[in-house]
Structure 1
Amino acid sequence: MPTTHAVEQDVFSIFDDLKQRVLGISDVTKPPEGFSFSFLPAGRPVNADDYAKPWTPDLTLDTGAGASTADPAVLNAIARRQRNLMNLSLMVDHKLQMNGSGLVEPGASKISETWKVLLTGANAVPLPPINDPNLKAALDRATKLLVKPDPEDPESVVLTDSYLKYKDYMKKYFRAIQAYTAQYVAAMSNPITAQTWPVLGPTYKADVDGAMDDWVSFGKKDKIEEALNLLDAQGSDAATAMIASSKKIFDRYQVAAGMIAATIPYVQLFPTNWCDPAAGDDGWTTYTYDMAKARTETSAASKSWGGGGVKLGFWSFGARAKHSDSQVHEDFSSEGLSISFKYAVVDIERPWLNTILLNLSNWFVVGCKKNCISNGDANQQKPSDNEAFWLPAIPTQVIVVKDLVIKTQDAQRFAGSVKAGTSGGGSFGWGPFTIGGHYEHDSSKGTNSIEQVDGGLKIDGVQIIGWISQILPASPKVDSPNVP
């Protein structure tokens, strides 16, 4: 039977492999600056009925307008889409609580509530008039490159097409890096392909270079970043306009939450079929891990993940227990372990959240010192006061897996325990993956189905295993007046 250390290496190897793949870390690329990758202590099963086809403002659903009587099926579909938007909005609105070892848990505080409080307390610091005509002209050009008057509200501004293209080509570049890394990690898992990588690698590297060329040429990378840097160094007028604009945009993207006299922030996830396990494999990448073929350089990975809260081997907890109360089953061996699954990186779009404000100087939050929102570091500790303004990072992507297959010598025996335990409301898993367990929502109850396959278990359904978050820059850069 493998030792605890061996099982630990299995878990941390998978952690590290996935981190490299989704962040695009390889032999020629470093981790992207300003982003962090984190796992949930245990996979969160997703019920597609709770999130599929959420409401959108484009009225794509055929409502049967003109009919003499309302079709109950159409009314139910509309209500379900509105409910699913609320579920989706709540799912991605939690601040993630770090535990210092690369693991996160959704906290009680909400991103949208913090952003609203932040905008309420934001004030610009007036600067003396700019006397240098060249500097004034440069600031005007930078502002016009990034924002333009909102056609629906002349007193507000929205991002320009150029800035939106910049963001789009930036995403395409990081996607190319992820694709390159997936090829690199796959090649390194086989001695033959590893030997030929120096020859084959440049072919895939060309896609990364092409994506960067497109970003520079069509996304105006240099001009946009020059404009951002210029406004970051100056920009009091831009801060005044951006605070006002951000407040209006935030209010505009609030939608009613059913019969409750409350609103929720509008969000979208792409691809939109992310929660449907039967939607096809476009956008999904296959990952396999074989203990017998695993590389031995896992001690560094083990140290990098720390270990606090990480589940090792097979685990379970009862219907009324918390994840932290899980019990590891050492009697179920991980001998002969192999794991395969498909994973996808899902983009989170929050049109009400315009973080360009955080890059501007000469504004403050009333009653707070500078950097009360973020100090720009990856590992920030929750402050003892003014936590309402604290927003060190924002989840921008969610990592999901499906078609999970776990094979070990004891998998068949463990399957019986899983089926017996889940019938009573408990949950089971291996490492970061939930094998069997209940998901429960106001709209539905159920369990991820488990199928016995040759030498192991196949777990149907989609589950969330981690997040990619953007580390917010140090902001605001000015103390509030009269704050000691």
Structure 2
Amino acid sequence: MAYTLNELGRTLRAQLAEIVTGGDATAAAAADSFITWCTPGMPMEESDFDFAAKGLGTGATAEEEKRLLQQAYVFSTLVDFIPDVSGLLSIDKQVAVFRTSQARLSHMYGEILRLSKVVDQELSPENLAKLERWRGKLKTTRKIKDFITDEEKEVTEDSPAVAAYNKYFADFLAARLEYNNKRIQAAVATGAEGKSAVMDWSSNQPLYRMKVSQAEGNWAAMGYRNEVEQLWAAIGQMTARSMKLWKQRLLESLDDSKIAAVGPGQTFQYAMPIPGNFANAKGWTEYKVYSNKLTSEMEQKSRSWSAGGSAGWGLWHASAGVQSQSSQYTSDFSVSNFELGFELAQIPISRAWFYPEFFMNRGWTLDRGRGWNYDQFPSDGANPPKGNFVGYPTSIIFARKINIKSSEFASAYRAHTSSLSTSASAGWGPFTMRGNYSTSESGRSYESNASGESIAVPGMQIIGFVNRLVPKSPNPFPDIPAEAFE
């Protein structure tokens, strides 16, 4: 039976979304998470993350330190965005096309902090001391030398407890990703090829579930999960009575975390992937989808994820920042046999300067026209939401070792790319199969190996982001009088 590229893409998108943000009672994700798919994917090299694996300040030479600093700038800028949900298919289905609002997350977060009016009911010296002690358990500062001026400055970083929280949270995500993937592969299995997936799940499901439970237990025992989340809750409860000091500390943390790279104007708020060595670490999950696994159940499910419409997944090409779909190999192009395999990883993003719990607090507000001169408030909390800070990326979906087996698809891809210029990128869905390593110092390009019935895509690439929605903001308690805000 033949399937169109769009049907294959829709099923792929449904399965991956189920793996990353879905799940059963054992491995469910947060309901306010949603995926934005990259089209095209963003090719990366393992060495692009040396800054996170080694750490800033570890360069043996000035040249090496400049390289690490530039990598940190590129990555931090890449994830410094607010997702644009105007292309959101459905909050219930938790999937959208990757767009950004063109506003930087760090800038808008700073604007919200600076222009907000907060409750100021004086806290006792005892409670102030508690706040200071609690904050010291969440964030820490260290001195680094400015590369340009040689002056020492303090930067804010995650405390050891929060660093452990993030590390074991990443391990939990990897275990949950594997569990969901095995469950989905068994659910859609058909024919002789699918027998191993069904047998694997029926025999090893308790072991996969145990890995999730163990990772969650390690997160609690060694990752300070309960302690860190209790501190967040306690700070939120106390600062709901008086947020003035807390707001000031958040602003200081934001200002202190700025780092300057060597290029003109390259000042940025530092962000890093967790773990820093993820590109070489274990935890990547193998994923496969076959055209003969498009069972009626999965096909129906994949159609429901496309509610509201979406761009078709035909062969595309991009040149000079402009992307277009092939007029010949559109989303309606059919293939009879298709197999896609790759390794998948979901990597959390750490931003020591960003406190999303501020948006959970109901002790602050904004006055339009009195400092807040934007057309919209951060978020109206609707479904889908409107505003200029409706969400933020929490993790990145990476794919590597991408391999497509299909004689018809490979033939169509070769015919499609033969007419393109050597500088044009090309791909299908969220996968870039020919293009440039735009973040690489070498600036090298790459070409998929399309021979016979298969296409092997080199390297790894970002194919999407998992984002978290911000609740209605501002949303002060109605019983707080206006004069209580300063």
Category of TM-score, reference length = shorter chain: 0.7 to 0.9
Match of 1:256 in 2: 260
Deviation at 1:442, TM superposition (A): 9.4
Indicate the larger mover: 242-251 or 232-241. Answer: 232-241
CA distance 1:458–1:187, shift in 2 (3 Å): same
CA distance 1:175–1:355, shift in 2 (3 Å): same
In 1, Cα distance between equivalents of 2:418 and 2:252: 53
**Aligned residue runs from structure 1 range 194-233, under 5 A:** 194=198, 197=201, 200-216=204-220, 225=229, 228-229=232-233, 231-233=235-237
Q: Which amino acid aligns with 2:357?
A: I
**Aligned residue runs from structure 1 range 37-116, under 5 A:** 37-46=35-44, 51-54=48-51, 58-63=56-61, 75-98=62-85, 99-101=87-89, 102-116=96-110
2:119 is the alignment partner of 1:121: no
2:11 is the alignment partner of 1:13: yes
**Aligned residue runs from structure 1 range 370-409, under 5 A:** 372-376=377-381, 379-381=384-386, 383=387, 390-409=388-407
Residues 35, 465 of structure 2: 8 Å contact kept: yes
Indicate the larger mover: 415-424 or 14-23. Answer: 415-424
Q: Which amino acid aligns with 2:72?
A: L
Deviation at 1:465, TM superposition (A): 0.9
Return 5+ residue gaps in structure 2 as ranges.
Answer: 90-95, 144-154
Deviation at 1:251, TM superposition (A): 1.4
Name the SS for the 1:352 alignment partner.
Answer: coil
Name the SS for the 1:436 alignment partner.
Answer: strand
Deviation at 1:395, TM superposition (A): 0.6
Residues 73, 266 of structure 2: 8 Å contact kept: no
* Higher RCO (CA-CA < 8 Å; seq separation 6+): 2
In 2, Cα distance between equivalents of 1:216 and 1:396: 20
Deviation at 1:287, TM superposition (A): 1.1
In 2, Cα distance between equivalents of 1:218 and 1:461: 33
Deviation at 1:458, TM superposition (A): 0.9
Deviation at 1:199, TM superposition (A): 5.5
With normalisation by structure 2, the TM-score equals: 0.78
Residues 422, 437 of structure 1: 8 Å contact kept: no
In 1, Cα distance between equivalents of 2:257 and 2:363: 27
Match of 2:319 in 1: 319
Residues 51, 72 of structure 2: 8 Å contact kept: yes
With normalisation by structure 1, the TM-score equals: 0.78
Q: Which amino acid aligns with 1:89?
A: S
Deviation at 1:171, TM superposition (A): 4.4
Deviation at 1:206, TM superposition (A): 2.4
Match of 1:286 in 2: 286
CA distance 1:158–1:107, shift in 2 (3 Å): closer
Match of 1:185 in 2: 184
Residues 430, 464 of structure 2: 8 Å contact kept: no
Q: Which amino acid aligns with 2:378?
A: I
In 1, Cα distance between equivalents of 2:199 and 2:140: 56
Match of 2:147 in 1: none
Could you report, residue by residue, the CA deviation over 1:326-357 in whole angstroms, capped at 9, with x for unpaired residues?
Answer: 54515964221111111222221111212232
In 2, Cα distance between equivalents of 1:193 and 1:413: 29
Indicate the larger mover: 166-175 or 264-273. Answer: 166-175
Q: Which amino acid aligns with 1:177?
A: R
Indicate the larger mover: 23-32 or 96-105. Answer: 23-32
CA distance 1:374–1:468, shift in 2 (3 Å): same
Q: Which amino acid aligns with 1:362?
A: G
Indicate the larger mover: 120-129 or 246-255. Answer: 120-129
Match of 2:462 in 1: 464
Could you report, residue by residue, the CA deviation over 1:171-230 in whole angstroms, capped at 9, with x for unpaired residues?
Answer: 444443223212322333334653674553223222333344445555565565555445
CA distance 1:40–1:318, shift in 2 (3 Å): closer
Residues 157, 352 of structure 2: 8 Å contact kept: no
**Aligned residue runs from structure 1 range 287-366, under 5 A:** 287-297=287-297, 298-306=299-307, 308-313=309-314, 315-317=315-317, 319-320=319-320, 322-323=322-323, 327=327, 329=329, 333-366=334-367
CA distance 1:48–1:234, shift in 2 (3 Å): closer
CA distance 1:57–1:95, shift in 2 (3 Å): same
Q: Which amino acid aligns with 1:345?
A: Q
Match of 1:32 in 2: 30
CA distance 1:362–1:416, shift in 2 (3 Å): closer
Residues 362, 476 of structure 2: 8 Å contact kept: yes
Could you report, residue by residue, the CA deviation over 1:285-326 in whole angstroms, capped at 9, with x for unpaired residues?
Answer: 21111102333222222222337443324x233635722565
Residues 289, 340 of structure 1: 8 Å contact kept: yes
In 2, Cα distance between equivalents of 1:463 and 1:220: 31
Name the SS for the 2:267 alignment partner.
Answer: strand
Could you report, residue by residue, the CA deviation over 1:66-96 in whole angstroms, capped at 9, with x for unpaired residues?
Answer: xxxxxxxxx4333322222221122111222
Residues 81, 393 of structure 2: 8 Å contact kept: no
Could you report, residue by residue, the CA deviation over 1:126-169 in whole angstroms, capped at 9, with x for unpaired residues?
Answer: 23778xxxxx989976874565596779xx99877656655555
Q: Which amino acid aligns with 1:100?
A: L
CA distance 1:310–1:222, shift in 2 (3 Å): same
CA distance 1:196–1:473, shift in 2 (3 Å): same
Name the SS for the 1:54 alignment partner.
Answer: helix
**Aligned residue runs from structure 1 range 126-165, under 5 A:** 126-127=120-121, 144-145=133-134, 147=136
Residues 407, 457 of structure 1: 8 Å contact kept: yes
In 2, Cα distance between equivalents of 1:167 and 1:439: 28
CA distance 1:168–1:3, shift in 2 (3 Å): closer
Name the SS for the 2:121 alignment partner.
Answer: coil
Indicate the larger mover: 112-121 or 216-225. Answer: 216-225
Name the SS for the 1:249 alignment partner.
Answer: helix
Match of 1:66 in 2: none
Residues 147, 158 of structure 1: 8 Å contact kept: no
Q: Please tell me the root mean square deviation across aligned C-alpha atoms, in Å.
A: 3.9
In 2, Cα distance between equivalents of 1:236 and 1:286: 45
Name the SS for the 2:313 alignment partner.
Answer: coil
In 2, Cα distance between equivalents of 1:108 and 1:81: 26
Name the SS for the 1:341 alignment partner.
Answer: strand
Name the SS for the 2:302 alignment partner.
Answer: helix
CA distance 1:220–1:432, shift in 2 (3 Å): closer
Could you report, residue by residue, the CA deviation over 1:424-478 in whole angstroms, capped at 9, with x for unpaired residues?
Answer: 4333222332222345469554433221345111111222110011222333323
Residues 157, 353 of structure 2: 8 Å contact kept: no
Deviation at 1:254, TM superposition (A): 0.7
Return 5+ residue gaps in structure 1 as ranges.
Answer: 64-74, 131-135, 384-389
